[in-house]
Structure 1
Amino acid sequence: MSDTKEPLLSTTTTDDLPPAYETATSTPKRNLPPPPPLPLPTLISLRSKRVILASSSPRRRQIISYLGLPDIEIIPSDFPEDLPHTLQPIEYVLATATQKAESVYTREIVNEEKGEPALILAADTIVVEPKTGAILEKPRSEAHHITMLKSLRDARDHKVFTAIVAMAPLSSARDPGYAVETAIEETNVRFDTEVTDELILAYVRTREGVDKAGGYGMQGLGSILVESIEGSYDNVIGLPLKTTLKIIEKVMARADDEDRLGSDGEGDDEEDHN
């Protein structure tokens, strides 16, 4: 046996290694570069493919960027989001997110210039007032905004639901079709009952919450209205990252399996995709 030991990561280059802990802890935080992307097989594969986020939300764009997918295309859905509020909240939010994903899929699957996408992600977030079960989306006016926030304060607790839909087109599909995975995240938010009408009015007039479900931004000034949360913080912002990563891995694995079955001539009678 040779006394010469091979390095454990003999095929790993210096560029592949994360920063040393000594460097990370000794460098001032303001000068730290962003962390390297997660070296997960699914994410590595997607970095060279078309990935579409079917949302114009800057908050969702920022959250999804943490996965290190460098060229995510932002293509908002043209779905009008006008489903009836008589639906149960979970049915409503999932149906809306699904329609968003399908709307973009229908447009982009025939994009001859860029080619079909490898992954489409869509999400929808709603706030539900527990006492009435009312679905709260974006405020329509200043008066509506004030009423919405007062009702959330007076109810104290409310729930935030986000539905995430991941679609991966199948190259072997006959129609063509796609693999799809969905998930719904639920977070309980408790408002501070001591928030005054004056503070609510002042917050409304900042206009921070005009484009947000429930009329407040948890990641900004809106946090002054909140006493505590139970569950995922980034779900309240609009995209639970951990759950999103899980369904990305699931849908890509499923698309891989179904494509393999199709190329082998098997599974022709199965209806596992739309």
Structure 2
Amino acid sequence: MSDSKEALLDHVDSPADPPPAYDLPTKPRGPPLPRPPPLSLPVLNDLRTRRVVLASQSPRRRRIIGYLGLPIEVIPSNAAEDLPKSLAPFEYVLGTATKKAQAVYQQEITNEEKGEPALILAADTVVVNTASGSILEKPTSEAHHFSMLRSLRDARKHKVYTALVAMAPLESARVPGYAMESHVEETDVVFDGDVSDELIMAYVRTREGADKAGGYGLQGLGSILVEKVEGSYDNVIGLPLKATLKVIEAVMAKADDEDRLPDDQVLDDGDEDEDEE
């Protein structure tokens, strides 16, 4: 083992404070990333005066979407994440993100105090071990965490999927009452095959990856486990920003549907109402 890795192990094996339990959320470390001036795009400028809900309590997702300069309101979804792991990873992650978005939409669409949200954005991220095909989410114990990271090292390459689902109320309020757009981002991550069991355990004991799908944080100390990333870097962190902007633009364009309703449809709807009366 190199001197640098030995020094790292000496440092992380003797933490100043006891690590948090696996059933408790970990606190984000270090200062927040610097934010550039907000993008001046019509869709973002309009949303900055309206309710925008992020259906996730992930501090990493909130930090990334914060680059768009939106007034983010965090309302975690209470939807059960119980889809069968027998689903294909694409279906699993998209189905879970859709459930999150729909649960918060149903909860907030009739919010009399704050008013209905203009946009709800939900996401879900999973790591897939390409050797076994198994879907990995957050580790549940130290032993599980160690086993998870060792399996990713032995497989060398794994995939990270993040599903984005955006919902917005239709201006026309016609059935079903909302517009929906979704996207699934796929990124390949290659672990360093020379990472030792000792280093993996030292990293596990830092608890940095305890609240992360796959059990590691690419944006932090977990980068020592990774050899390279093929695809979107911020997708591995939890939210691909470029795809997020595209989904927002698409769903808000769909939601603004009043001007696209044919005049005869509006008249027909009115006539039908009169006949029913």
SS in 2 for 1:222: helix
SS in 2 for 1:114: coil
Shift of 1:175: 4.7
- Compared CA separation, residues 202 and 264, structure 1 to 2 (3 A): farther
1:62 matched to 2:63? The reply is yes
Equivalent in the alignment of 2:109: 109
Q: Is the 8 A contact 1:172 1:263 kept in 2?
A: no
Q: In structure 2, what residue type is equivalent to 1:48?
A: T
Instruction: Report the Cα distance in structure 1 between the residues aligned to 2:164 and 2:202, rounded to whole angstroms.
Output: 33
Equivalent in the alignment of 1:124: 124
Shift of 1:254: 1.0
Instruction: Report the Cα distance in structure 2 between the residues aligned to 1:238 and 1:215, rounded to whole angstroms.
Output: 13
Equivalent in the alignment of 2:50: 49
1:29-51 Cα distance to aligned partner (Å, 9 max, x none) = xxxx8422101110011000000
Equivalent in the alignment of 1:241: 241
Equivalent in the alignment of 1:160: 160
SS in 1 for 2:131: coil
Instruction: Report the Cα distance in structure 2 between the residues aligned to 1:238 and 1:134, rounded to whole angstroms.
Output: 19
Shift of 1:261: 3.4
> TM-score, normalised to structure 1's length?
0.83
Instruction: Report the Cα distance in structure 2 between the residues aligned to 1:164 and 1:115, rounded to whole angstroms.
Output: 24
1:64-106 Cα distance to aligned partner (Å, 9 max, x none) = 000011x210000001211110111000000000000000000
1:204-225 Cα distance to aligned partner (Å, 9 max, x none) = 0001111100000001110000
Instruction: Report the Cα distance in structure 1 between the residues aligned to 2:188 and 2:97, rounded to whole angstroms.
Output: 20
Equivalent in the alignment of 1:194: 194
- Compared CA separation, residues 177 and 233, structure 1 to 2 (3 A): same
Q: Is the 8 A contact 1:128 1:158 kept in 2?
A: yes
Equivalent in the alignment of 1:219: 219
Q: In structure 1, what residue type is equivalent to 2:111?
A: N
Instruction: Report the Cα distance in structure 2 between the residues aligned to 1:35 and 1:216, rounded to whole angstroms.
Output: 27
Number of aligned residue pairs: 236
- Compared CA separation, residues 151 and 266, structure 1 to 2 (3 A): same
In structure 1, runs of 5+ residues without a counterpart are 1-32, 270-274
Instruction: Report the Cα distance in structure 1 between the residues aligned to 2:97 and 2:149, rounded to whole angstroms.
Output: 25
Shift of 1:132: 1.2
Equivalent in the alignment of 2:265: 266
Instruction: Report the Cα distance in structure 1 between the residues aligned to 2:201 and 2:131, rounded to whole angstroms.
Output: 23
Equivalent in the alignment of 1:230: 230
Shift of 1:177: 1.6
Shift of 1:142: 0.6
Equivalent in the alignment of 2:183: 183
Instruction: Report the Cα distance in structure 1 between the residues aligned to 2:262 and 2:171, rounded to whole angstroms.
Output: 9
In structure 2, runs of 5+ residues without a counterpart are 1-33, 270-277
Q: Is the 8 A contact 2:53 2:73 kept in 1?
A: yes
Instruction: Report the Cα distance in structure 1 between the residues aligned to 2:173 and 2:139, rounded to whole angstroms.
Output: 42
- Compared CA separation, residues 111 and 222, structure 1 to 2 (3 A): same
Q: Is the 8 A contact 1:126 1:136 kept in 2?
A: yes
Instruction: Report the Cα distance in structure 2 between the residues aligned to 1:247 and 1:265, rounded to whole angstroms.
Output: 31
Structure 1 vs Structure 2 CA RMSD: 1.8
Instruction: Report the Cα distance in structure 2 between the residues aligned to 1:102 and 1:194, rounded to whole angstroms.
Output: 43
SS in 1 for 2:123: strand
Q: Percent identity?
A: 71
SS in 1 for 2:265: coil
Instruction: Report the Cα distance in structure 2 between the residues aligned to 1:35 and 1:214, rounded to whole angstroms.
Output: 30
- Compared CA separation, residues 263 and 169, structure 1 to 2 (3 A): farther
